[in-house]
Structure 1
Amino acid sequence: MGYRFGLDPPRRGDTARAAAQIAHRYGEYVMQTLFSANGNATSEVWAKWATLSAREFYDGEFVADHVDKLQFCFEKALAFPASLTYLALNCGTSYRRTWQHIRSNKVGFKVIWFISKGTLSISRSNGSSIIEKGQMGILDSDAPFHCKMTPGVDGMFESYQLAVPAYLFLAHLEGAEQVNNVFSLETPQGKVVQRMLHLLVKEGENLSRRTAKPLTESLLEALADCIDLKGLDISRRQSLVDKRLADIENYILMNLSDPDLCYNRVASNCGISPRYLCYVLKANNTSFSDLLWKNRLPRARDLLVAPGTRGYPIHEIAFMSGFKSAAHFSRMFKAAYGCPPREFRNAIEGSVSPTTVCEDDRGEQILRAA
C-alpha cells in the first residue's frame, strides 16, 4: 500500500519544526539539506515531504510506493537565479499535475531533470518519454503531466533538478519545453553540461548572486547547444512583448538593491515608454509592484539566513534589499510572510522553539516562533 497526498500549500496554524540549516557533504559537494528520512515510511514523513515539494516546485498530487525502510534525501545547492536541487530515495514515487492545480498555482517554472540513478517516466498530452541514467529531460509546470520516479537496480533513484523561472528559460531555451525528446549527457556537448552542473553543485553555497547569475545563464546556453534547438526545428523567436518582459524583469533583478527603482526608471533603461511598459505588464497579467516585490522580498528572506549575511543587522539586510528603512522592510516582510524578519531568522536557525507555520503572499510555508 502506498501513500497519497495533495501537494497544496499548508494552511495557517499547521505546526512543523524549523528547517535545519545543515550542510551535507557528498565527496566535495556541500549542499543545504532541506529534507531527510532514514527509517519507517510513516504518513507523517510523506506529508512533510509533500509540503516541502509543493513549496520548492509546484502544487500537484503525490503518490509513494510502500517501502519497509525509507532512505530519502533532498538538498539544495543553488537558490538564485534558478533553483538547483538534489534528490535521492529508495522507493517509487509519482506526481500528477492537472489543469486544476495549474489554474490555482501557475508558477511558470520549467524543470530540467538530470538523472543519475533509476528512471523518470513523463507522460504529457503531446507524448511520453523515459529519462534514464546519464540523460536529461524538460518538464513544463504550466502544462498537465504525470511523472514516475523508479529506483535503479541498486534500489536508489537519484537526480538533480534545475527549476528555471520562465523569463530566464525564455531567454535561453525558448520552445524547448515543447520537446518530449530525451537528451544524452554523454555527448561532447552533454559533458560540457555535466561539468558546468557539477561546478554549480560544488560551489553553489559559496557563490554570490552576481556570480551565480552568469554561471547559470552559461549552463542554460550549454543546454541549448546540447539540445540543439535548431536541429529539432523549434522556433526560438520571441514575440516582442515576451522580449520586453524579459528585459524588464532582468533590469529589476539587476537593480533590486536600488531603493529608488521605479516605474519610469525601468521604462527609460529598457528603452520603452511608461505607457508601453504598462501594456507589457498587463499583457502578462502582472504589475510593476508584483514584479518588484516578488523578487525583492525573497532576496531579503535569503539574505536573512544566508551563511555570509545571517549575522548582519536587520537594517543592513533592509538596505541591501532596496528598502529605504528597516521599519518599512519589517512591515512588508510581515505582511508577506506572516512574521517579522528577526523571528523568521531565529526560527530558521533553530534557536527558537516551538514553531508555528505562517504563509507568505503566494501561499508558501514559512516557519516562525510561536
Structure 2
Amino acid sequence: MEVIAEDQVGSEDGKPAQAERRRFPRSVKTAVEEPRPQVPALRPLLFSTRDLEPRAQFAAWQTYVSPLIDIRLPDNVSPEAGFAADHAAWNLGGMLIVQHTTPPHSYMRSQAKVKANFVDHWHISALRSGRTWTEVDGLVSEGEPGKMELRSLERPFRGRSTEAKTLSLILPRTLLSDTPASIEIRNNVALSGMLTKLLIDYLDIIQANLASFIAADLPHVVQTLRDMILTCVSSSAEQSVGTEHHSMVTVTERVRRFVENNLASSDLTVEQICRQVGTSRTRLYQIFEQEGGVHHYMQRRRLLSAHAALSDPSNREQIVDIAFAVGFSSAAHFSRAFSKEFGYSPREARNLTTPHYRGQTTSPASTDGTESFDEWLRTLSHNR
C-alpha cells in the first residue's frame, strides 16, 4: 500500500502537488518581571543577662519577668554567683512564641500579681531540657522533655525549676474559646502521647523557620498551631476519668465562653448565665470566688475587650462608643473602672499601640518608646 506523506496531496491530473509549507507564529519574548523579594515579617524581642556583671544578673532577670511572675533563687545560692539567662520572643500576631534558658529557681504568680498584671492567656510550654514542678490549687504538674504543659495565666500558680531550656506558646484564651473542644481545656495539665509529639515536632519546624516567614504565612501558622493544640486537648480529655474537678472546669469554660460572646449585652446577668449554662448561683459564685466574684469577672472581661479595641491601630471609634459597645452604660463609670484596672486612662491606652510583627532588643524597663514583653502580653489579644 502506498503511503502518502501528510504534507502532500494529489492534484486533479494525478501529479503530486507541491508540499504545503506550514507556518507557525514566531515566539514573542516578553519581559518577565523579577519577583519582588519577600520581606521577613518577624523580628525577635531579645533579652539576656550574660553581658551584665554576675551580681546584677538576677535582679535584671527579676525585672524582666516581673509582668508575669516573681522568682527566687534556691536557698543555697547567692545572687553574687550570677544568673545567666536568655529570652527570645516572636509575635505571630495571634500568639507569642517564647524561648528561654534559665538556671535553677523558684517562681510564683500570686493572686496579687494576677490582679496587678491581668492577662487572660494560656501558657503552653515544652521543656527541651530540665524539669519543673508547678502547683495550682493543691495539684502538682510535673514538666519534662516530651511533654507539653498547659497553664492559665489568669490563675495563681507556683513552682520550681532545675536548669532548663524551654519553648513556649502564649495565646489569648479567646483564640481557643470559639470551638466545642475548648470546654475540655483543663488548667495545669501535662499533655503527652503521639499527638503531643507531633505538636512539639511542628514547633521545632516553626522555630527553625522564624526568620523566613513573611506576613502572609503567619495567620496560617497560628491557625495550624491552634488546631493542633485543640486536637491534643481533646485526646487528653477522652483519656481522662471524669471527676467533679473536671466537671467544674467544664462549667467554668462554658461560663467564660457565654460571657465572652455576650459582653455587649446589657442583659448579661448572673441569672441569665445560670439559665444558659445550667448551674446554680451558689456554684457560680464558688467558681469565680478567686476572681473577685462573677460581677468583677464580667467587668474585667469588658475592660479587656475595650482595651483591645483602643489598642487596635485600625479602630478609630470614639472612646464612648467603645465603652457602650462592651456593655458600659456610663462613659464616666467606664473611664473610672478602666483607669483603676490598668493604671492609665482610655485615652492614654490609644498611645500604647504597637505595630504588628516588630521587635527590638530591649528591656522591659525601657523608657524610650521601644516595645517590651509586657506590652506584647497586654496587646496580644487584638492582634488576631
TM-score of the superposition, structure 1-length normalised?
0.58
Q: How does 1:45-84 map to 2 (within 5 A)?
A: 47=59, 49-56=61-68, 58-61=69-72, 66=82, 72-77=87-92, 84=95
Alignment partner of 2:144 out of 131, 144, 151: 131
TM-score of the superposition, structure 2-length normalised?
0.56
Q: 1:251 maps to which residue?
A: 258
Q: Which amino acid aligns with 1:73?
A: A
Q: 2:374 maps to which residue?
A: none
Report whether the alignment pairs 1:119 with 2:134. no
The alpha-carbon deviation at position 250 of structure 1 amounts to: 1.6
Report whether the alignment pairs 1:308 with 2:321. no
Alignment partner of 1:146 out of 137, 157, 160: 160
Q: 2:230 maps to which residue?
A: 221
Q: 1:200-247 deviations in whole A, cap 9, x for unaligned?
A: x9889987xxxx9x9887444312356x4555x654665655443332
Q: 2:285 maps to which residue?
A: 281
Q: How does 1:1-370 map to 2 (within 5 A)?
A: 30=42, 33=45, 36=47, 40-41=51-52, 47=59, 49-56=61-68, 58-61=69-72, 66=82, 72-77=87-92, 84-89=95-100, 92-97=102-107, 102=110, 105=113, 111-115=123-127, 118-123=128-133, 131-132=144-145, 136-138=148-150, 144-150=158-164, 157=165, 159-162=167-170, 171-174=183-186, 177=189, 183=192, 187=194, 190-191=197-198, 218-224=227-233, 228=236, 234-235=241-242, 238=245, 241-272=248-279, 276-282=280-286, 284-285=288-289, 286-309=292-315, 311-347=316-352
Query: CA 1:303 to 1:242, structure 2 compared with 1: closer, same or farther past 3 Å?
Result: same
Quote the Cα distance in structure 2 between the aligned partners of 1:173 and 1:48. Answer: 34
Q: Which amino acid aligns with 1:302?
A: A
Secondary structure at the aligned position of 1:41 is classed as coil
Asked whether the equivalents of residues 189 and 225 of structure 1 are also in contact (C-alpha less than 8 Å), the reply is no
Q: 1:115-161 deviations in whole A, cap 9, x for unaligned?
A: 5xx424214688896634x75345687554211353xxxxxx56123
Q: Which amino acid aligns with 1:343?
A: E
Asked whether the equivalents of residues 196 and 219 of structure 1 are also in contact (C-alpha less than 8 Å), the reply is no
Q: Which amino acid aligns with 1:86?
A: I
Q: 2:362 maps to which residue?
A: none
Query: CA 1:314 to 1:147, structure 2 compared with 1: closer, same or farther past 3 Å?
Result: same
Q: 1:361 maps to which residue?
A: none
**Contiguous gaps of at least 5 residues in structure 2:** 1-38, 356-366, 370-376, 380-384
Aligned residue-pair number: 295
Q: Which amino acid aligns with 2:89?
A: F
Quote the Cα distance in structure 2 between the aligned partners of 1:54 and 1:76. Answer: 19
Asked whether the equivalents of residues 111 and 162 of structure 1 are also in contact (C-alpha less than 8 Å), the reply is yes
**Contiguous gaps of at least 5 residues in structure 1:** 1-26, 151-156, 356-363
The alpha-carbon deviation at position 32 of structure 1 amounts to: 8.1
Q: Which amino acid aligns with 1:160?
A: S
Q: 1:171-206 deviations in whole A, cap 9, x for unaligned?
A: 3244872x5xx736xx4663267659969x988998
Query: CA 1:119 to 1:267, structure 2 compared with 1: closer, same or farther past 3 Å?
Result: same
% identity of equivalent residues = 13
Query: CA 1:266 to 1:237, structure 2 compared with 1: closer, same or farther past 3 Å?
Result: closer
Quote the Cα distance in structure 1 between the aligned partners of 2:97 and 2:229. Answer: 18
Question: What's the Cα RMSD here?
Answer: 5.0
Give the stretch that moved more between structures: 329-338 or 278-287. Answer: 278-287
Query: CA 1:215 to 1:297, structure 2 compared with 1: closer, same or farther past 3 Å?
Result: farther
Quote the Cα distance in structure 1 between the aligned partners of 2:143 and 2:172. Answer: 21
Query: CA 1:78 to 1:237, structure 2 compared with 1: closer, same or farther past 3 Å?
Result: farther
Secondary structure at the aligned position of 1:55 is classed as coil
Structure of greater Rg? 2
Q: 1:314-335 deviations in whole A, cap 9, x for unaligned?
A: 2333233232343332222112
Quote the Cα distance in structure 2 between the aligned partners of 1:244 and 1:104. Answer: 25
The alpha-carbon deviation at position 288 of structure 1 amounts to: 2.4
Query: CA 1:162 to 1:317, structure 2 compared with 1: closer, same or farther past 3 Å?
Result: same
Q: 1:1-48 deviations in whole A, cap 9, x for unaligned?
A: xxxxxxxxxxxxxxxxxxxxxxxxxx9664784x64597236778656
